[in-house]
Structure 1
Amino acid sequence: MGVRAQYTRNWAKSFVGDQERPLEGIAPSVYSLGVFYDHGPVSLSLSGDRTAGFTTAVNVLGNGYNEKADPITWVTAHAAYKITEKMDISLEGQNLLDKANTYSINGNPMLPQGYYRYGRSVKLGVSYRF
């Protein structure tokens, strides 16, 4: 049984000439938390990952109007069971919150810039070792 936690913070800055601009494609913070259990034939895990909103392109509608990816949280769960020494069965779910990734101008939802969706996915697996 265990817990895994991670936090990353980025304080880097970008300058063009003497003008400070947001970094493109770099989230200012990312964190995740996971719990897991592994004993005997049973293995379970649950994790959540959060990425803060970040700039994806600068000056898309003129000076100071930046395209931003909005924050997103991603939840994944995994369960596995060892049926025999040679055979396992597993079930995994990704994006369990079924969140869409959205983009907007300066983080304003009234100025949408893009949208995409991975959708929730569930995988069932069986493995056999010869």
Structure 2
Amino acid sequence: MEAQKSSIEDDYQAFLSIQVERYLKRKTQQRFCSEAEKDVINQIIADSWTEYRQTRNLSQIDTEQKIRSYYSFTLVFPYFVAEEECIISFDFRNKCSLEGGDECFCNSGVPYRQCCGGIKSLKDLLKGSF
């Protein structure tokens, strides 16, 4: 029983590795951009693994056949467009980068973080106010 559990876990790890690799190859930076994205993808794979195991008898095939089967299993992943970016705020007129507490380059007299570099509210984003 313990050997069977270990074999099932090994099979899942192989399936997981193949599917994560497939997902990350589609992305520009080929990495997860956030823990939330990683959690969602891992949950999709885990759910697919449950479905996969219910439709196939893995104990009847050898490792090489299993691997081929994992690669041939089509999994539809959501497309994540919100990737974390490293944005460098720059004042081109004064030829310097801006920090959150620096005076805003628009000459409002307000710190950059509270003016042009501020986080927009959900209400503004939904209205399209940028």
- TM-score category by the smaller chain? under 0.3
The structure with more strand, counted as a fraction of residues:
1
* Greater RCO (Cα-Cα under 8 Å, separation 6 or more): 1
TM-score, structure 1 normalization: 0.23
The structure with more helix, counted as a fraction of residues:
2
